[in-house]
Amino acid sequence: MEQGSKMSLGRNFRISKPSEERKFLMPRSQGFPELKNDTFLRAAWGEDTDYTPVWCMRQAGRYLPEFRETRAAQDFFSTCRSPEACCELTLQPLRRFPLDAAIIFSDILVVPQALGMEVTMVPGKGPSFPEPLREERDLERLRDPASVASELGYVFQAITLTRQRLAGRVPLIGFAGAPWTLMTYMIEGGSSSTMAQAKRWLYQKPQASHQLLHILTDALVPYLVGQVAAGAQALQLFESHAGHLGPQLFSQFALPYIRDVSKRVKARLQEAGLAPVPMIIFAKDGHFALEELAQAGYEVVGLDWTVAPEKARERVGKTVTLQGNLDPCALYASEEEIGQLVQQMLDDFGPQRYIANLGHGLYPDMDPEHVGAFVDAVHRHSRLLRQN
């Protein structure tokens, strides 16, 4: 299906804010089944829920034997380009666990690929860019950001297919990497413990840095809107490398673009006649900017495990929902201890305006039984918390 037809999906929606009408401006024109469990969306919008919804970053991942089996036949980005494979991988954790949301299987680096950069996934090493950006003139190699969404039709097809096959069980989350995080990969050429090359650009090439961040923002906005047009019911923006920036650099080179993405996506959704969706910002190690992130135009602020929930709530107030933030390594504990840690976490966050998650993604060597224990503990204790 071409991008133009994707972008027109759902244009006959009626824009409306009240929850009973938003419940939902369902894309009936696409024949999506009615949503049966809206707990995650209600929490994201700040509405009261009967229990705390829970999902996990990287819930579709290598910790699942069925994931490894599905992925064995293809390289990583070939899998990302297969709507059928992405749909299957997205659905696998929901067959095992009573999660309250699905997140489409994809990768943040499909955006640099769509801008014309070669990216490969090297086993045991991670992403690799054979020709990273080194000089200002290298920006001329990048494609027009307006063409990016048309290059990523396979993501939209995966989202639509997954919405159909979810059969209304839970909402589907779309996502993308934030501009600064994408910039780091494009300049570093892969993962880095210091981001020294990317930060060198910020200090030595501030104008070119802003130019690149603008290009990425211009690419991300139609990409995220396209995900909603295809069926995504919420969006998460991953600023995974926020912690490499101190407050000053973050406020200069990350926060303005995080704000711009939210503002422009919301405006474009309205212009396209698409229903509003809650947006989540997850800035890992960005604890120094919590107040600013809470005012950046997102309904939900994701927290990593280095932030104390009660202090986070004090700092952001009651105008946003918080998401997180159990240390992923807590899942190495016994199932009994996982239950105790979850109970403490839920007590600290409180019963409303909260979505339970980990403080980062699941690791490949984690026991699926312990993931199940985490999900069950959230549901069980959050119901007890409301009764008391």
**Residues annotated as part of the active site:** 58, 62, 71, 107, 185
What six digits make up the tokens of 79? Answer: 């899998």
Distances (CA, A) of 40 to 183, 193, 215, 278, 354: 31, 34, 32, 10, 9
Cβ–Cβ under 8 Å, residues 262 and 296: yes
- Listed residue (6, 11, 354, 20) closest to 156, CA to CA: 6
What residues form DSSP beta bridges with 355?
Answer: 323
Residue type, 219: A
CA–CA gap between residue 82 and residue 71 (Å, rounded): 11
Cβ–Cβ under 8 Å, residues 278 and 284: no
Burial 199-220 (b: 16+ CB within 10 A, else e): bebbeebeebbbebbebbbbbb
- Listed residue (244, 250, 243, 258) closest to 179, CA to CA: 258
Q: Which residue has the tokens 């997180």?
A: 324
What six digits make up the tokens of 353? Answer: 């305006």
